[in-house]
Amino acid sequence: MGTNRIKLAATLFAVALACGGYAAGSSAAAPRRAAAKRSADARTVYSQHCASCHGEDGDARTEKGELYGATDFTSKKWWDKEHPSDARLRRAISAGKRGGMPAFGKRLSAAEVSALATYLRGFKGR
């Protein structure tokens, strides 16, 4: 009878360990999945609201981009000169800029604006 208890305890321990490992793996993967979803969402928002001027690749080589002098987010020179903080990028997206950049603060949520600011950094140095 003592052997059966040991076997049962060992089995329960193995099951608990497996479940705990699965839960730990899931919770570790959750932030990566959330970040990937935010990135995908930002890409969609960028495509819908920004790409017509700034280009899908961020290089501003579009008819509207040339007309309005849209920022080329792939330009290392621009990033080095401007050193835009996330707060500055969020303000520009929300309030717009003189010369043609519309304000998106009423069209986009604060989370979308923040995601876009982060997404724009991905163009740096392309």
Ordered DSSP codes for 32-91: HHHHHHHHHHHHHHHHHHTHHHH-TTSS--SHHHHHHT---TT-HHHHHHH---HHHHHH
In the prediction, which pLDDT does 46 show? 96
In the prediction, which pLDDT does 34 show? 52
Residues 15-56: tens digit of each pLDDT: 554 555 444 445 556 555 555 455 558 999 999 999 999 999
| Global model pTM greater than 0.75 | no
Which homologous superfamily does the CATH classification assign to the domain defined by 35-121?
Cytochrome c-like domain (1.10.760.10)
